[in-house]
Amino acid sequence: MDPQQFRIRTRDGRAQLAGQVELPPHGDAARYPVVLMVPGGWFMDRDGYMGGSGTDRDLIYRDLANDLLAAGVAVVRYDNRGVRCNEMTMPPCPAGSSEPETTRHYLNACVDADARQTVTVQSQMDDVEDIWVFAVGHPRLDPARVLIWAHSEGGLNAARLIGRGRIDPRGAQFVGAPTGSPVSVARWQIVERSVGLLMGWDADGDGRVTQDDVRRRSPGDPVFEAVGTAQEVLAAPGDGWTRDTLHDHYAAGYEKLMADAFAKPDDAPYPDLGGEPRFVAASNDWWKQWFVDETPLIDHLAGYRGRASFHIGEIDSQNPGPRQLAFAESRIKAGVFARPPRLVFHEGRGHALRTGEPVAGPMDEAAKACLVAEAREILLWGEPG
C-alpha cells in the first residue's frame, strides 16, 4: 500500500515534522499494531541512511520497516526537525561534482539550518511526543499496541518521555542507544575512544604512535571520518603519542569543549562554523546536555511496566558495547526496575547491527529478524497465533 504522508507543525511553531504511515500490504484489520520509529540524532531522516553497500538496504530504517510490514505490523517513520532527505535520496548532484560540491549540494537540499538551530533537549522530546500523539490518534492504528523503536540518540529522547509518563508504549526497543548517561557517553567518545583508537595504530607495539603510523592509518578510518576529524588534528608530536600523552591531550580538549559550551547562550548554533551553506546540527542547549546530564538512560525506565529491550552492538563505535552491557546488568542487579528490560548483546556487530562494522549498515538479516520477532511478540502477545 502507498504510504500516507503527513506534516505536523511543531508545538513551538518553528518547524514542521514530515513523515509517513505505512500499513501492511496484506490484511484487512480495522486497526493495526504499529512500530513508531524514533530516528537517531543530527541529520537522520525517516529512512536512516547508514551504509556503504550502494543498495537500498543502506537505508536501515526503511529496510527494517519493510520487514515489519511483511510481518503484519504497521510503521510510522519521520524526519528529524530540519531534515528533508539524505545522501542517497537527495536530488542528483550535477555530473562531475567534487566532494566539497557534493557536500554543499547535500546541505542545501536536505538540511534547514535555521530549523536545526531550534533543536534543544526540550524540542526533541516535544517532537517525539507530537508524533506519538499523531500515531495513537490515527484511525488505522491501535493505540493499545504501539511499540517505540528508537535508534542511538533517539533512545535518549524516548526514554526521557517514558520516564516522565508523557508516552506509554506497550514496548520499547532501544538499538545502538547507550544505557549510561549522556555525560559518560560524551566523555568516552571524546577522550577514551580517541585514545584507544589511536593507540591501536601502534604498528611495532612499542607503546608509541608515530606520525608515520598516523599517515598510514588515518585515511579512511571509519570513526574519525564519521566525526569529521582532520588528519592534522591527529598529528603526532616528534617522539610520537603515548597512552598518557594522548589521554592528557584529549582530556584537555574535553575541558575546553565544556568551557566553550557554557560560555555561549543556549540558543547559539552548534557547531558555529560560519561559511555557506551553513552547517548547524542543533542549538548550544542541545550540546550542553552532554556535559551536564548524569542520569543514565536506562534509569528513565525504572518505573516503566511495558516490555523494554536494549540491543547492544559489541563493536559499536558510538557506545562501547561491553561497557554499556555491564552497566545495564549492574542496574538490573540493583533492583531499580519495576520490570527489568531485556538485554540483547550482538557479538561482532556495531551501531547499525552489522557484523564487522563499528558504524555503518546495512543491518544484518539475522539482527533484523531478531528485532521483528521481538516486536511481533510484544505487539501480538496474548492473541491467537
We report the CATH number of the domain holding residue 231 as: 1.10.238
Map grid coordinates 551501531 to a residue: 351
Q: Are 87 and 230 found together in one domain?
A: no
pLDDT in tens, 36-77: 999 999 999 999 999 889 999 999 999 999 999 999 999 999
Which is more confident, 216 or 129?
A: 129
Categorize the per-residue pLDDT at 309 as very low, low, confident or very high, splitting at 50, 70 and 90. Answer: very high
Q: Are 201 and 157 found together in one domain?
A: no
Residue 383's pLDDT is 45
User: Could you give the strand order of the β-sheet that contains 342-346, starting from the edge strand earlier in sequence?
Assistant: 4-9, 16-22, 74-78, 32-38, 141-151, 171-175, 307-313, 342-346
Q: Has residue 278 been placed in a domain?
A: no
Residue 8's pLDDT is 96
Q: Number of C-alpha atoms within 13 angstroms, CB side, residue 63? A: 23
CA dist 209 and 236 (Å) reads 7
Residue 374's CATH number: 3.40.50.1820
pLDDT for residue 225 is more than 80: no
Q: Are 193 and 140 found together in one domain?
A: no
Q: Are 235 and 135 found together in one domain?
A: no
Mean pLDDT of the chain: 94
Which string of DSSP letters, residue by residue, matches 207-244?
Answer: S-B-HHHHHHHSTT-HHHHHTT--GGGGPPPTT-B-HH
Q: Has residue 280 been placed in a domain?
A: no
Q: Are 105 and 142 found together in one domain?
A: yes
pLDDT for residue 144 is more than 90: yes
Q: Are 175 and 195 found together in one domain?
A: no
pLDDT in tens, 310-343: 999 999 999 999 999 999 999 999 999 999 999 9
Q: Are 176 and 189 found together in one domain?
A: no
Say whether pTM exceeds 0.85. yes
Categorize the per-residue pLDDT at 382 as very low, low, confident or very high, splitting at 50, 70 and 90. Answer: very low
Name, in order, each residue with C-beta under 8 angstroms of 322's C-beta and a sequence gap of 6 or more. 314
Q: Are 106 and 239 found together in one domain?
A: no
Q: Has residue 359 been placed in a domain?
A: yes
Q: Has residue 289 been placed in a domain?
A: no
Here the cell at position 13 is 511553531
Q: Has residue 157 been placed in a domain?
A: yes
Q: Are 301 and 322 found together in one domain?
A: yes
Q: Are 169 and 129 found together in one domain?
A: yes
Domain count for the chain? 2
Q: Has residue 369 been placed in a domain?
A: yes
Q: Are 118 and 27 found together in one domain?
A: yes
**Single residue among 206, 241, 263 that ends a domain in this structure:** 263
Q: Are 165 and 190 found together in one domain?
A: no
Q: Has residue 249 been placed in a domain?
A: yes
CA dist 326 and 317 (Å) reads 16
pLDDT for residue 31 is more than 90: yes
Categorize the per-residue pLDDT at 1 as very low, low, confident or very high, splitting at 50, 70 and 90. Answer: low
pLDDT for residue 286 is more than 50: yes
pLDDT for residue 235 is more than 90: no
pLDDT in tens, 74-96: 999 999 999 999 999 999 998 88
Q: Has residue 276 been placed in a domain?
A: no
Range of the domain at 193: 185-263
Name, in order, each residue with C-beta under 8 angstroms of 62's C-beta and a sequence gap of 6 or more. 46, 47, 48, 56, 77
Name, in order, each residue with C-beta under 8 angstroms of 130's C-beta and a sequence gap of 6 or more. 8, 10, 11, 17
pLDDT in tens, 160-196: 999 999 999 999 999 999 999 999 999 999 999 999 9
CA dist 242 and 52 (Å) reads 33
